[in-house]
Chains A and B, each alone.
Chain A
Amino acid sequence: MKLSLSSSPHLTQKRTTSEIMRLVMLFAVPGIAVQTWFFGYGVLINIAIAGIVAVITEAVILELRKKNFELAIKDSSALLTALLLGISIPPFAPWWMTVIGAFFAIAIAKQLYGGLGFNLFNPAMTAYVVLLISFPVQMTAWAPVMELSQINHNLTDALSLTFTGYTTEGYSVVQLRTNIDGFTMATPLDEMKNLLNKGFTLSEITFTNLFIESGNLAAGFGKGWFWVNIAFLVGGFLLLQFNLINWHLPVGMLAGLGLPALLWYLVSPDTQISPLLHLFSGGTMLGAFFIITDPVTAATSNKGRLIFGFGVGLLVFIIRSFGGYPDAIAFSVLLMNMCVPVIDYYTRPRTYGYTQAKPVKAKKKQGGDK
């Protein structure tokens, strides 16, 4: 064991907020790259629009609040929020939707509560939910992976789709999503939910077009989605490696989603989405490593983080399996954000030098805090 001879504090490395934010954004790059590879340039355009709007909104509001806006802009927190929002919004969503979302995230969900460090709800997810309940049609129009699409699209098409609603050749997003046989293609989770409700079995569903990827590791998963999730998982491991997040939150969430899914799957394997599909589709990995690990809105103690993560995972499982929406990361995160004060209250760590806090002592301590 290496002993340090200097006096405390023994922090070897101190990262500023802006460094942390930038590193998190850096580690999201693999996920974004893979998403771009499979789904086209829409995600990059979303991130760019959201980023610009978020930074401008942040600057204007901080100026109005008579704060030092340069310093606050430099901490990149608005950019990170915009990045997460841009990833979550479907590619080729109309530009004004991204603008409304980014504005709402920064102005209402973050700055109205007091700015960085004071917001109760995850800004990116709040904005996502606002968009989802306001514009359900556009928010569920997720274009299929490029290789399934009948119409090829490039960067110009993506830009033109975002700003005018049509590609340069005049196809709309709906047409992009339409298969050769006239069926609109949905995301794997959506498709699975619909077909399960129609009485198909899981093994039948995984042989449909959306899931087949023969002779591949990703067989049985949604095309593209598996690799996007893997990429975010890799980014997540890097986050852990660089000590940017604790393992408690992601592990809690993956357990909260995986265990009940496994249980249900064991009971009735043909009417439930398999646990692996749960873990590697939709926004699971992005949520587990990048969204719920927001230090402001998550629980603060390690035990609390496990509970918070587990709660998010469980809610995702419940809503995906029994609710009306195909994916539910945003709703679950917001619902658990509301529970954070309660979780924090009941998981206060023992003060060093004291035995486990008893109710009486806890009361005394409260008095001392004032």
Chain B
Amino acid sequence: MTEYQQLTWQGLWKNNAALVQLLGLCPLLAVTSSVVNALGLGIATTLVLIGSNCTVSLVRNLVPNEIRIPVFVLVIATFVTIVELLMNAYTFSLYQALGIFIPLIVTNCAIIGRAEAYASKNPLKQSAYDGFIMGMGFLLVLVLLGSMRELLGNGTLFDGMHLLLGDWAKAMKLVIFETDSPFLLAILPPGAFLGMGLLIALKNVLNQRVENAVMGAQQEKIVSRARVTSES
């Protein structure tokens, strides 16, 4: 596998920021009550990740090791401010809907985690790609959870997309079923925790299936004798 393939595999599946590293759970659980919120926060996070990864990679040889964390945080905060101002200017309703969770991207551990673990050790191009693909992994989980909760809770999908994409997106709203009494649990925080748990479980099951399929073909079953008399 080339470096880029490796990065893609790690970012989207093997080392997914949300499903495996469980980083950035606070915004993940809080804003995923609808697809549009999830998408908005996912895009914002991805932009910050790309920006911070690029910058950190560029200054990696200039920053003394002792103060690297404060420097990373400053870099991240700068990009978060940029994204926040941009959203304030162009997607104001979404900016209001996401509220505190846009500034809180600063504290998203996935971002500083990538800066520390990857961007501070690798050249610009790879770091930028790593930021992009890690952000994509995060975004996909956000959107998946958001659509699960919106579908279960309101029976709709892509409701309010015009907040993010402009007026033409009003037509994107899909009504799967009509209901007078929404399933509030899915929209409230417990639904986020339950949905997240189920997604992680699903990921683990798929992982096991794939590994079994790959390994099963390669390896014969090894018979080992278990000793039952002594402490294990």
- Docked complex Cα distance between A108 and B186 (Å): 14
Proximity bits, B167-201, A CB within 8 Å = 1, else 0 = 00000000000000101111010100010000000
Stretch at the interface among A28-36, A130-138, A281-289: A130-138
Contact check: which of A134, A137, A138 meets B185 at CB < 8 Å? A134
Please, could you name 18 A-B residue pairs with CB atoms under 8 Å apart, sorted by A? A100-B183, A108-B194, A130-B185, A130-B190, A133-B184, A133-B185, A133-B188, A133-B190, A134-B183, A134-B184, A134-B185, A134-B186, A135-B181, A135-B183, A135-B184, A136-B184, A137-B181, A138-B181
Within the complex, what minimum Cβ distance (angstroms) separates B151 from chain A? 15
Write out the residue numbers on chain B whose beta carbons fall within 8 Å of the beta carbon of A135.
181, 183-184
Q: Which B residue sits closest to A137, measured CB to CB?
A: B181
Within the complex, what minimum Cβ distance (angstroms) separates A113 from chain B? 11
- Docked complex Cα distance between A134 and B184 (Å): 4
> What band does the interface of chain B fall in when counting residues whose beta carbon is under 8 Å from A?
under 10
Write out the residue numbers on chain B whose beta carbons fall within 8 Å of the beta carbon of A130.
185, 190
Write out the residue numbers on chain B whose beta carbons fall within 8 Å of the beta carbon of A137.
181
Write out the residue numbers on chain A whose beta carbons fall within 8 Å of the beta carbon of B185.
130, 133-134
Residue among B184, B188, B194 with most chain A CB within 10 A: B184
Q: Which B residue sits closest to A94, measured CB to CB?
A: B181
Write out the residue numbers on chain A whose beta carbons fall within 8 Å of the beta carbon of B186.
134
Q: Which 5 A-B pairs have the closest CB atoms?
A: A134-B185, A134-B184, A134-B183, A135-B181, A130-B185
A residues in contact (CB < 8 Å) with B: 100, 108, 130, 133-138
Q: Which B residue sits closest to A130, measured CB to CB?
A: B185
Proximity bits, B120-149, A CB within 8 Å = 1, else 0 = 000000000000000000000000000000
Main secondary structure of the interface of A (DSSP, over half): helix
- Docked complex Cα distance between A138 and B194 (Å): 23
- Docked complex Cα distance between A344 and B159 (Å): 48
Write out the residue numbers on chain A whose beta carbons fall within 8 Å of the beta carbon of B194.
108
Q: Which B residue sits closest to A104, measured CB to CB?
A: B185
B residues in contact (CB < 8 Å) with A: 181, 183-186, 188, 190, 194
Within the complex, what minimum Cβ distance (angstroms) separates A109 from chain B? 11
Write out the residue numbers on chain A whose beta carbons fall within 8 Å of the beta carbon of B190.
130, 133
- Docked complex Cα distance between A300 and B188 (Å): 33
- Docked complex Cα distance between A162 and B186 (Å): 24
Residue among A100, A133, A134 with most chain B CB within 10 A: A134
Within the complex, what minimum Cβ distance (angstroms) separates B184 from chain A? 4
- Docked complex Cα distance between A137 and B185 (Å): 14
- Docked complex Cα distance between A130 and B194 (Å): 12
Within the complex, what minimum Cβ distance (angstroms) separates A133 from chain B? 6
Within the complex, what minimum Cβ distance (angstroms) separates B159 from chain A? 19
4 more A-B residue pairs beyond the given contacts A134-B183, A134-B186, with a C-beta to C-beta distance below 8 A: A130-B185, A130-B190, A135-B183, A135-B184
Within the complex, what minimum Cβ distance (angstroms) separates B182 from chain A? 8
- Docked complex Cα distance between A137 and B182 (Å): 11
- Docked complex Cα distance between A138 and B183 (Å): 12
Write out the residue numbers on chain A whose beta carbons fall within 8 Å of the beta carbon of B188.
133
- Docked complex Cα distance between A133 and B190 (Å): 10
- Docked complex Cα distance between A134 and B181 (Å): 8
- Docked complex Cα distance between A106 and B51 (Å): 47
- Docked complex Cα distance between A100 and B184 (Å): 13
Within the complex, what minimum Cβ distance (angstroms) separates A278 from chain B? 29
Q: Which B residue sits closest to A131, measured CB to CB?
A: B185
Residue among A100, A135, A136, A138 with most chain B CB within 10 A: A135
Q: Which A residue sits closest to B152, measured CB to CB?
A: A134
Within the complex, what minimum Cβ distance (angstroms) separates A271 from chain B? 33
- Docked complex Cα distance between A169 and B188 (Å): 37
- Docked complex Cα distance between A130 and B185 (Å): 7
Within the complex, what minimum Cβ distance (angstroms) separates A13 from chain B? 35
Write out the residue numbers on chain B whose beta carbons fall within 8 Å of the beta carbon of A138.
181
- Docked complex Cα distance between A130 and B153 (Å): 13
Within the complex, what minimum Cβ distance (angstroms) separates B179 from chain A? 10
- Docked complex Cα distance between A327 and B107 (Å): 40
Write out the residue numbers on chain B whose beta carbons fall within 8 Å of the beta carbon of A136.
184
Write out the residue numbers on chain A whose beta carbons fall within 8 Å of the beta carbon of B183.
100, 134-135
Within the complex, what minimum Cβ distance (angstroms) separates A154 from chain B? 26
Write out the residue numbers on chain B whose beta carbons fall within 8 Å of the beta carbon of A108.
194
Residue among A108, A130, A137 with most chain B CB within 10 A: A130
Write out the residue numbers on chain A whose beta carbons fall within 8 Å of the beta carbon of B184.
133-136
- Docked complex Cα distance between A257 and B76 (Å): 53
- Docked complex Cα distance between A242 and B81 (Å): 69
- Docked complex Cα distance between A134 and B153 (Å): 9
Within the complex, what minimum Cβ distance (angstroms) separates A151 from chain B? 22
Within the complex, what minimum Cβ distance (angstroms) separates A130 from chain B? 5
- Docked complex Cα distance between A100 and B186 (Å): 13
Within the complex, what minimum Cβ distance (angstroms) separates A100 from chain B? 8
Within the complex, what minimum Cβ distance (angstroms) separates B148 from chain A? 14
Within the complex, what minimum Cβ distance (angstroms) separates A197 from chain B? 25
Write out the residue numbers on chain A whose beta carbons fall within 8 Å of the beta carbon of B181.
135, 137-138
Q: Which A residue sits closest to B183, measured CB to CB?
A: A134
Within the complex, what minimum Cβ distance (angstroms) separates A334 from chain B? 11
Q: Which A residue sits closest to B188, measured CB to CB?
A: A133
Within the complex, what minimum Cβ distance (angstroms) separates A108 from chain B? 7
Q: Which A residue sits closest to B194, measured CB to CB?
A: A108
Within the complex, what minimum Cβ distance (angstroms) separates B197 from chain A? 8
